[in-house]
Amino acid sequence: MYLVESKGGAIGCMLIALVFLGTWPAILAYLERRGRLPQHTYLDYSITNLLTAVVIALTVGQIGRDKPDIPNFITQLLSDGCKLVIYPKDFSVLICFVRKSRTDEIDFLDDNWPCILIAMAGGVFLSLGNLSTQYAWAFVGLSVTEVITSSIAVVLGTTLNYFLDDRINRAEILFPGVGCFLVAVCLGSAVHSSNAADNEKKLDLENGTHKEEKAKVGSAHHLIELENKRAIKVFGKSIWLGLSITFFAGVCYSLFSPTFNLATNNQWHMMKRGTPNLVVYAAFFYFSLSFFVIAVILNVWFLYRPVLNLPKSSLTSYLKDWKGRNWAFLAGVLCGLGNGLQFMGGQAAGYAAADCVQALPLVSTFWGVLCFGEYWRSSKRTYVLLVSMLFMFIVAVAVLIASSGHRKVYSR
């Protein structure tokens, strides 16, 4: 199993993860703006997200020989007793955790089960967070949504990770960085409010005037065209609805990294003495598995009982909808790679420092402005707030990276 052991390698993983995690939201937002139902997109995205985690575990997680306290992925998976049972009659699948005792009886709880369940809880939190942001993008915009959710994740999640990591990060550097993210939250809300006011003025000016033959990006006519194309209709909706969804997603994001930290480092000593900690790749597998299960359950439900006045769909319609599916698959791969690299870097340099990947709005804002015309033809006030927000993000990322520590022991 390959482990990142140097601070430089950990920072490299974080920076690559930052690019990947900032790009996949832009892809999903692009598909929603082209009218594809978010339920269809999220189901596709979840499939490749899980497959990416499996590929990482079976390749990088299998490099080198096993060690007594750091087993390879498959060795630990088998020792955990992960058993896949397929029933031939209805092709249903059951995954259970079993262990044979000396009397060859089946025990459904292995020594690692507390940490396995915690890793799976982290996957649930991330799945709920990602699902919420998919709807928040339509109301708040890609840039501001990512800023607010990421900032909340850093303010809450980084503080939890600092104490869980036995304070290996330098507090005098780390927490000023957290403060910068907190300022970014306030600026993000102000940017959204200012931009919403700009859009209302554009629409008011559009009334009673002739329409342009070709809508200019950022113009009122462009906003109307976008509303007619997109899957989620936002005109007439309260800005507080979008912000509420965004803040809920941020709280979910703040919990997934600390739970993964607990799963891999066992700070609460929940396993029997002498039992190896969950390696990063095994924890990532269970994490991604629960992410996938929650995504499938909720989105199949939303197919038949949609939210936010979206049209109803069905599994048959989903399977036939190939428009944009390749992009949704790509988004799942990028998210899976980004999460895997974040966890690999966090295990080496501390998960508090790894939260620097929450600067993904720097990448998302780039895509939002370049591809979606966000903030085009807005007021000077909006531009000032936007630049200030991004500046605070850059400072925060630099400070968090500077606080990186070095975890010398991977298991107890």
Stretches in the chain below the pLDDT threshold 50: 81-109, 210-213, 218, 409-412
In the three-class reduction of DSSP (H, G, I as helix; E, B as strand; rest coil), residue 299 is classed as helix
Q: Give CA torsion, residues 260, 263, 267, 268, to 10 deg.
A: 120
| Beta carbons of 164 and 265 less than 8 angstroms apart | yes
Q: Give CA torsion, residues 290, 291, 296, 302, to 10 deg.
A: 130
Q: What is the pLDDT of residue 405?
A: 60
pTM of the model: 0.76
Q: In angstroms, rounded to a whole number, what is the distance separating the alpha carbons of residues 301 and 21?
A: 26
- 205-261: per-residue pLDDT in tens? 655 554 444 555 545 555 556 555 666 665 556 667 778 888 999 999 999 989 998
Which of 234, 209, 230, 233 lies closest to 219 in space, CA to CA?
Answer: 209
Question: How many C-beta atoms surround the C-beta of residue 326 within 10 A?
Answer: 10
Residue given tokens 């015309």 in the structure block: 373
In the three-class reduction of DSSP (H, G, I as helix; E, B as strand; rest coil), residue 19 is classed as helix
